[in-house]
């Protein structure tokens, strides 16, 4: 029996308001209807399902709260609100940061002190009670229910209203690729209901399973090998590319697309501003391909963009595309047919840590050159680390030309950040290590990877100075990039690794919990203790963020480009706008450097607020400067 269509509540708005709103909806729909219908019919060739989609879009629009419709109108006029210079993200798990959604609302004052204008709440939708089968919140059991220990949807909507009143946006994860095996659809599919089995990929033919195994790369070959999980009660296997308890959705079925779009619109109506599309390259499967980045994925994302622009144009789509560099940019679409508003700057993040370990900026320069050549409308989300591991997805053909082999180089990077290379002060843990290939990913907080953990443990003040300098330099470099910067909650306090996860049976096998520790509220008071590590890092980051927020050279319209410099350890970035030039120079070395300015003369030190005549600058180990020329 087909699932019932979602039935939004009757609108409480006035008749006049509904009429005006309907006019706005119709105008927006008119702009996109023909393309949306053409793409939908190309995928599904089902006019009835398309008509249902349009009807439900109108219902969700009518139920969109008035304050969100007003925000939509404002952002439509602005156009690219998510690119504003003031944007600074902070990422957090609700329970780790404040216990509950209401707890987060109570801590908004602290977030404002941090300068955060966008809060990324890590997965909070309902998941299995057994946390070992929740994948940190990415195994969703109900897309319209908050995890009970965190609060309710009403709490979430209230938090969104409070944040909007204070100029803060909310970001959430939308897990499109799969559901939990405890989702209603999965439970009914397991009981043999054909309608629900068709929403997943069931297979009884061993030859087909074998072909998938041959053609499709495994996501977690050591911790969750294979692509299918056998269900003895059905005598069939179901596709589970990530973990056995996460069933891949079948987007060939228009019912799946429609229902997931209704979930998307429901969540947008709770006040979400940025919707992070989790694992988006995986969502279309086709036998005989590698099931990655297929054209149908781009069709789905393009349709999602248009659906959002019709119903809730104030929201932005953030694509999580952890793929080779050449496969990332296409998820922006093209200016005439855009897809994601923002994408994670994944390769640059990994290349940054490679640069720390090698003291060689050449690969990072090439990466930044490639990004600077893209259209200025392409907006990246820049970060040093997140909730996930660091995978070494680098440009290995280029590294090979410089004499570095992929397997050996990955091994070196992991050994460096484990602290097994002489001179390294980093600490962390490997993730998904493959003993056959020697491949592995890495986990650790920014502070621990920079050496703050080691320096604190050893009580070595000189080592601490170096570690703090590296931590601050990396944040300055991140803030220099074009796009939206985001900091993982706790990094502003130099939070170090949390090894207690090893004592929790539900977490012990997942080393990513090493950098997902509870927020150290006991360290917040140290922000006001002169000379403490927390005060040094917090105040340095706030100074950088304030300068970035007001200095015109950091506007989204400024042009960014890397500048060649003879010393491989020096990364030189140039920002230009309005006849002025910012020279942002970073020493990726534990040795002091003398840097020659392009021309001797007067510069403004943006951090010290002083003008000075200079020809050369002495940079300490891991040092940097922001100096402006022309005013």
- The pLDDT tens digits of the residues spanning 100-124 come to 999 999 999 999 999 999 999 999 9
Alpha carbon separation from 252 to 116, 191, 211, 350 (Å, rounded):
40, 22, 19, 34
What pLDDT score was predicted for residue 8? 47
pLDDT, tens digit (0-9, with 9 covering 90-100), for 79-92:
899 999 999 999 99
CATH level 3 topology of 557-629: Immunoglobulin-like (2.60.40)
Q: Which of 105, 135, 173, 320 is catalytic?
A: 320
**532 in Cβ contact with 409 (< 8 Å):** no
| Residue 425, phi then psi, degrees to nearest 5 | -110, 10
Which residues lie closer than 8 Å to 252 by C-beta, 6 or more apart? Answer: 284, 285
Residue ranges in 114-253 assigned as alpha helix (H): 153-165, 184-190, 194-197, 206-215
Residue listed under structure tokens 């450097």: 593
What pLDDT score was predicted for residue 631? 63
What pLDDT score was predicted for residue 516? 96
∠ CA(427), CA(432), CA(435), 5° rounding? 100
Residues 236-241 have a mean pLDDT of 97
Alpha carbon separation from 207 to 201, 202, 204, 458 (Å, rounded):
15, 13, 9, 57
Residues 182-195 have a mean pLDDT of 97
Exposure b/e, 557-567, CB count within 10 A at least 16 = b: ebebebeebee
Q: What's the CA gap between 203 and 234, in Å, rounded?
A: 10
CATH node for 1-177+254-285+292-344: 3.20.20.80
Comma-separated ranges of CATH 2.60.40.1180 domains in the chain? 557-629
| Biggest CA-to-CA distance, the chain | 79
**561 in Cβ contact with 369 (< 8 Å):** yes
Residue 292 neighbours by CB distance under 10 Å: 15
Comma-separated ranges of CATH 3.20.20.80 domains in the chain? 1-177+254-285+292-344
* Confidence category of residue 342, pLDDT binned at 50, 70, 90: very high
What pLDDT score was predicted for residue 326? 78
What pLDDT score was predicted for residue 221? 82
Comma-separated ranges of CATH 3.90.400.10 domains in the chain? 178-248
What pLDDT score was predicted for residue 535? 98
Residue 34 has pLDDT above 80, yes or no: yes
The question of whether 530 is a catalytic residue gets the answer no
pLDDT, tens digit (0-9, with 9 covering 90-100), for 385-443:
999 999 998 999 999 999 999 999 999 999 999 999 999 999 999 998 877 677 899 99
Helix (H, G, I), strand (E, B) or coil at 337: strand
Q: Which of 278, 309, 453, 498 is catalytic?
A: 278
Least-confidence region, from 68-77, 203-212, 220-229: 220-229
Residue listed under structure tokens 């944007």: 87
The question of whether 320 is a catalytic residue gets the answer yes
What pLDDT score was predicted for residue 10? 42
Q: What's the CA gap between 204 and 412, in Å, rounded?
A: 43
> Looking at domain 178-248, what is its CATH homologous superfamily?
Oligo-1,6-glucosidase; Domain 2 (3.90.400.10)
């Amino acid at each position: 029996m087909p699932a019932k269509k979602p039935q939004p509540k009757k609108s409480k708005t006035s008749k006049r308001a509904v009429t005006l709103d309907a006019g706005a909806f119709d105008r927006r729909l008119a702009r996109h209807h023909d393309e949306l219908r053409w793409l939908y019919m190309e995928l599904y060739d089902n006019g009835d399902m398309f008509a249902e989609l349009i009807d439900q879009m109108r219902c969700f629009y009518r139920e969109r709260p008035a304050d969100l419709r007003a925000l939509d109108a404002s952002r439509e006029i602005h156009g690219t609100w998510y690119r504003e210079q003031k944007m600074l993200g902070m990422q957090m798990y609700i329970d780790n940061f404040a216990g509950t959604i209401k707890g987060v609302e109570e801590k908004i004052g602290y977030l404002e002190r941090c300068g955060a204008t966008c809060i990324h709440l890590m997965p909070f939708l309902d998941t299995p009670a057994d946390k070992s089968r929740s994948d940190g919140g990415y195994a969703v059991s109900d897309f319209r229910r908050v995890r009970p220990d965190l609060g309710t949807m009403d709490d979430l909507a209230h938090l969104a209203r409070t944040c909007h009143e204070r100029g803060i946006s909310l970001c959430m994860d939308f897990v499109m690729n799969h559901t939990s095996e405890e989702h209603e659809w999965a439970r009914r599919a397991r009981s043999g209901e054909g309608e629900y089995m068709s929403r997943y990929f069931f297979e009884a033919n061993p030859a087909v399973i074998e072909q998938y195994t041959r053609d499709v790369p495994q996501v977690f070959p050591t911790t969750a090998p294979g692509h299918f999980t056998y269900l003895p009660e059905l005598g069939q296997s179901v596709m589970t590319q990530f973990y056995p308890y996460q069933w891949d959705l079948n987007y060939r079925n228009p019912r799946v697309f429609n229902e997931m779009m209704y979930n998307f619109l429901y969540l947008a109506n709770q006040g979400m501003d940025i919707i992070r599309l989790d694992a988006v390259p995986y969502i279309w499967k086709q036998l005989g391909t590698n099931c990655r980045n297929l054209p149908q994925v781009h069709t789905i994302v393009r349709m999602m963009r248009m659906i959002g622009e019709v119903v809730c144009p104030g929201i932005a789509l953030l694509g999580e595309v952890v793929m080779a560099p050449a496969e990332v940019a296409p998820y922006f679409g093209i200016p005439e047919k855009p897809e994601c508003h923002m994408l994670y700057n994944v390769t640059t993040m990994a290349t940054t840590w490679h640069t720390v370990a090698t003291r060689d900026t050449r690969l990072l320069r090439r990466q930044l050159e490639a990004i600077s050549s893209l259209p200025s409308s392409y907006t990246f989300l820049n970060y040093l680390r997140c909730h996930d591991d660091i995978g070494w997805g680098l440009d290995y053909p280029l590294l090979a030309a410089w004499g570095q082999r992929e397997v050996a180089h990955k091994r070196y990077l992991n050994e460096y950040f484990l602290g097994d290379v002489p001179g390294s002060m980093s600490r962390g843990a490997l993730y998904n290590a493959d003993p056959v290939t020697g491949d592995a990913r890495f986990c650790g907080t920014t502070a621990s990877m920079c050496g703050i953990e080691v320096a604190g443990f050893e009580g070595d003040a000189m080592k601490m100075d170096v570690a703090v300098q590296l931590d601050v330099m990396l944040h300055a470099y991140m803030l220099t990039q074009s796009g939206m910067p985001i900091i993982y909650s706790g990094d502003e306090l130099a939070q170090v690794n949390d090894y207690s996860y090893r004592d929790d049976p539900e977490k012990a096998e997942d080393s990513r919990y090493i950098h997902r520790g509870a927020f150290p509220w006991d360290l917040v008071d140290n922000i006001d203790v002169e000379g403490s590590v927390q005060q040094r890092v917090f105040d340095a980051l706030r100074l950088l963020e304030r300068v970035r927020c007001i200095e015109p050279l950091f506007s989204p319209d400024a042009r960014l480009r890397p500048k060649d410099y003879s010393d491989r350890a020096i990364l030189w970035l140039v920002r230009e706008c309005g006849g002025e030039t910012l020279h942002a120079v970073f020493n990726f070395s534990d040795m002091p450097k003398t840097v020659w300015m392009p021309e001797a003369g007067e510069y403004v030190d943006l951090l010290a607020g002083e003008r000075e005549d200079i020809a050369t600058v002495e940079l300490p180990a891991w040092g940097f400067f922001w100096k402006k020329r022309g005013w």
